[in-house]
Amino acid sequence: MRLSRAFAVVTGGSDGIGYAIAQAFAREGADLCLVARNADRLADAAARLARSGIQVTTVAADLGHPVGLERVAAEIAGLGRAVDVLVNNAGTATFVPYLEADRAQYDHSIALNVTAPFFLTQALVPLMPAARGSVINISSYFSGKMLPGRPSSLYSLTKGALNSLTKAMAYELAPRGIRVNAIAPGTVDTDLRRRTIAAMPEDAQRAMEELVKRLYPLGRIGQASDLGGIAVFLASSEAAWTTGAIFAIDGGLTIT
């Protein structure tokens, strides 16, 4: 097992991409701390993951608020374990036309997609073992690619910032032996995506589905499980010389 005896923190770990990454880590022997807002979903996810024989702890908190960030950092520190891996996956996706975006939407997007990974990583770095810590940020293809009919100014802004933060953190934390990388998925079939699509007018939904099918060279959107392998690689010693990289896991969407 590539992550045997490792301890990994996964934010947004109760469902979707975060849960799929947690599953992949569990299969490789890592103990887990899942962070998310909904305590019931966390408990359910933890129970399922624990069946593989690993230890799973949970922290229910909203990382979009300073109090939530501080509590998560304090509870993880209180566990008394070295943090080998941190996956900054929790986030929000707000798609509104640039000219209609308001300050509340802006502040919420920045708080959860940029501020949370910035300060949670900062708080947990002292708990990371020298020459073994790995930070994995979950970005998006929207950091550099726009789609017709999909106004993404807010989301693209935050994921572009996260990519830049990934590279800067990788540079600054390298003397500690801590590696920082990002995964930039294409469209992934998650509950969040389904809710976002469901909120669109029916004609826009049909147009979006047809566009997605045409855009992907591999002929399909992703499943959350498609991201588990790259996450395990980045968390493991196999990626010991890999830092500051942004990995496009997107079915070929960003080839051109």
- 58 membership: H or E segment, kind and range: strand 56-60
Number of other residues whose CB lies within 10 A of the CB of residue 214: 8
**Whether the Cβ atoms of residue 166 and residue 246 lie closer than 8 Å to each other:** yes
Separation of alpha carbons 81 and 62, rounded Å: 22
Among candidate residues 155, 160, 124, the one with its CA nearest the CA of residue 7:
124
155 catalytic? Reply is yes
Among candidate residues 113, 122, 29, the one with its CA nearest the CA of residue 72:
122
Separation of alpha carbons 1 and 236, rounded Å: 10
Tell me the two tokens of residue 60: 């229910």
Q: Which residue in the block uniquely carries the two structure tokens 């990974």?
A: 117
* Contact partners, residue 254, CB within 8 Å, separation at least 6: 141, 144, 145, 184, 186, 248
DSSP tag of 89: -
Residue 183, strand partner residues: 138, 247
- Please pick, among 19, 106, 141, 155, the residue that the annotation labels catalytic: 155
One-letter amino acid at 202 equals: E
Active-site residue set: 155
